[in-house]
A and B are shown apart, each in its own frame.
Chain A
Amino acid sequence: MSDSFVNDSIEASVSKSRILAVLEKVCDPEIPTLSILDLGILRDVICHPKHLEVVITPTYCGCPAMKTIEFDVIRALDDAGYKEVKVTMQLAPPWTTDWISKRGRAMLLKEGIAPPVESKDSLGQGIECPRCTSHDVSLISVFGSTACKSLYRCGSCFEPFDYFKCH
């Protein structure tokens, strides 16, 4: 999150917290329990005199969910009474899985997706099976059901599972 969330006047921060409460309900269409705040792709909210600017960043260059997320942001804010909204895309600094919140990680786990272990280690040691918590896991494919996930198999409960890979 950029500093603009904390450095504003009280009045602006009150309205921003209202906006954030709305945006908290906008979820990644691929993982419908994970909000764009928890995923760490919401970068900023800027109140211009006549419109609201919501800045988001893509997880991957070709993430097909970005357009849907843009529409969902506009629709959610429209429902909340913010009629003039512009969504802009910011590329740098690039999104990293380190920006996924604690709550976001818990949400992933609840969905049966192992959260990323550490960004330095792209293929992750210490990955835990989201079903039985075993560390006896093996990689099936680096590229899973979406670009941001890898496919693993648990050696204890034998279930395959998605791992949200470090990025």
Chain B
Amino acid sequence: MNKNHYRYVLRLGDNALILGQRMTEWCGHSPLLEEDIAMANCALDHVGRARLLLSYAAELEGEGRSEDDLAFVRSDREFENFLLCELPIGDYAFTMARQYLLDTYHYHLFTELVSSSDETLSAIAQKAIKETTYHMDRSRDWVLRLGDGSEESHERMQVALEGMWNYTEELFERDPVDVQMIAEAIGPDPEWLHSKWQADINATIKKATLSVPEKKWSLSGGRNGLHTEAMGHLLSEMQHLQRTYPGLSW
């Protein structure tokens, strides 16, 4: 097994799964009926993407584990998602700001992965990029609406961005896993992604009459299994059924 290849795909799957799980928390609680449906639709795309990626990661690992084993019986230290994905949903401004930052990240990432030397990853990216474009249009719209909206919505969107800004550097870190993926033309250079991402985000923030937060400090560790306190609570809910009734299936 190529451990770095496995971890690269696992990380992509974990980001999709954990963010998808967070998004489902809005089901039945969104501010508008249409938003409730939209959020559930987008969450479904993320969970679907997670299934494809985790199935593939399990195949690469070659130890007989399934997508369900990876999703439901790993502990928090074994998950390698970005910390940004696991942060609690906060208010709607926080949720949509996070969606926008990550949709834009995924948009550029999948655009590059379409031409990955890994055919399976390329196939997944070809599907995911179409959905991500819809997701990004919607989350960008919310950043603009709330930013350039009332005094309160503006304030909330600015606070949301400030609150998550220090978690964004982790998206573009480069460790030996990334170095090998770049060398094998499997994945793009995070530094390149960063410049594309930053340009889009800056333009939207400006258009939304918001200001780009100042980076005061930076938190990372998710990609190496070091998570925030929120992660354990998320997993206890997501994994409840399989932990209580191991091996249960439809």
Contact = CB atoms under 8 A, between A and B. Distances in A.
14 contacts: A60-B44, A60-B45, A60-B127, A61-B45, A61-B48, A61-B131, A62-B45, A62-B46, A63-B48, A92-B119, A141-B34, A141-B38, A143-B41, A147-B45
Nearest to A66: B48
A36 B34 CA distance: 28
Nearest to B126: A94
Given A91-B52, A141-B34, A141-B38, A64 B127 contact: no
A50 to B, nearest CB: 24
Contacts of B37: 141, 143-145
A140 B126 contact: no
B219 interface: no
Given A91-B127, A95-B127, 13 more contacts: A60-B44, A60-B48, A61-B49, A61-B124, A62-B45, A91-B123, A91-B124, A94-B126, A122-B137, A142-B137, A143-B34, A146-B41, A147-B41
Interface size class of A (residues with CB under 8 A): 20 to 34
Interface of B: 34-35, 37-38, 41-42, 44-49, 51-52, 119-120, 122-124, 126-128, 130-131, 133-134, 137-138
A49 interface: no
Contacts of A94: 123, 126-127, 130
Contacts of A63: 48
A151 interface: yes
A92 B128 contact: no
